[in-house]
């Protein structure tokens, strides 16, 4: 029997968070942190609402997961995020010592891989999970934003 809790399942949960961001006028990025097939942190971008450039989905999800666990390290945890993390978020993920990061769409302009950022050497990285869905949501957001201005 196939495990229903695979990367696609949890990326769909991250996409649901991204949809909430979209509906609230935020860049539609969503994230969930999972341990033992259980979501322990979920978030979406809140930079506009909080007027805070650090309020990225990943940062919010890291904080929620750390609060749930009662500690700053995210060993045995996986972050699912709809867009490749930026350099700031990659730094936070590095310090959290998260075990795995799974992202949807690559960010060819501001992603950590093109900006010279790194994840912890023990962190597994998987990209391209539901990439089309994540990319389409971002494209739709920016087209809508251009048409409003």
Among 17, 58, 133, 136, the active-site one is 58
99 falls within a domain: yes
- Is a pLDDT exceeding 80 seen at residue 31? yes
Q: Is 58 a catalytic residue?
A: yes
- Is a pLDDT exceeding 90 seen at residue 145? no
11 falls within a domain: yes
What pLDDT band is residue 5 in, cutting at 50, 70 and 90?
Answer: confident
Q: How far apart are CA 83 and CA 129, in angstroms?
A: 10
- Domain of residue 61: give its range: 7-148
2 falls within a domain: no
The residues, any chain, with a CB within 8 Å of residue 81's CB and separated by 6 or more, are 14, 29, 30, 31, 57, 58, 61, 89, 101, 102, 103, 104
- Consult the annotation and say whether 44 binds a ligand: no
24 falls within a domain: yes
- Tens of pLDDT, residue by residue over 45-69, are 999 999 999 999 999 999 999 999 9
1 falls within a domain: no
Total domains in the fold of the chain: 1
59 falls within a domain: yes
36 falls within a domain: yes
* Closest residue by Cα to residue 19 from 149, 106, 134: 134
- Consult the annotation and say whether 77 binds a ligand: no
- Tens of pLDDT, residue by residue over 34-46, are 999 999 999 999 9
Q: What is the mean pLDDT of the chain?
A: 95
Find the CATH number of the domain harbouring 44. Answer: 3.40.140.10
Q: Indicate the burial class of 128 (C-beta count within 10 angstroms; 0-12, 13-18, 19 or more).
A: middle
């Amino acid at each position: 029997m196939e495990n229903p809790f695979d990367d696609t399942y949890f990326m769909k949960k991250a996409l649901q968070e991204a949809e909430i961001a979209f509906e609230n006028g935020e860049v539609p990025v969503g994230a969930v942190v999972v341990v033992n097939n259980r979501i322990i942190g979920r978030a979406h971008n809140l930079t506009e609402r909080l007027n805070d450039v650090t309020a990225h989905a990943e940062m919010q999800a890291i904080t929620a997961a750390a609060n749930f666990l009662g500690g700053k390290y995210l060993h045995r945890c996986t972050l699912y995020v709809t867009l490749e993390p930026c350099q700031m978020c990659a730094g936070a993920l590095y310090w959290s010592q998260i075990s795995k990061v799974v992202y949807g769409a690559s960010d060819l302009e501001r992603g950590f891989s093109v900006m010279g950022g790194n994840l912890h050497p023990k962190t597994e990285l998987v990209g391209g999970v539901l990439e089309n869905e994540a990319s389409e949501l971002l494209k739709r957001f920016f087209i809508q934003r251009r048409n409003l201005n």
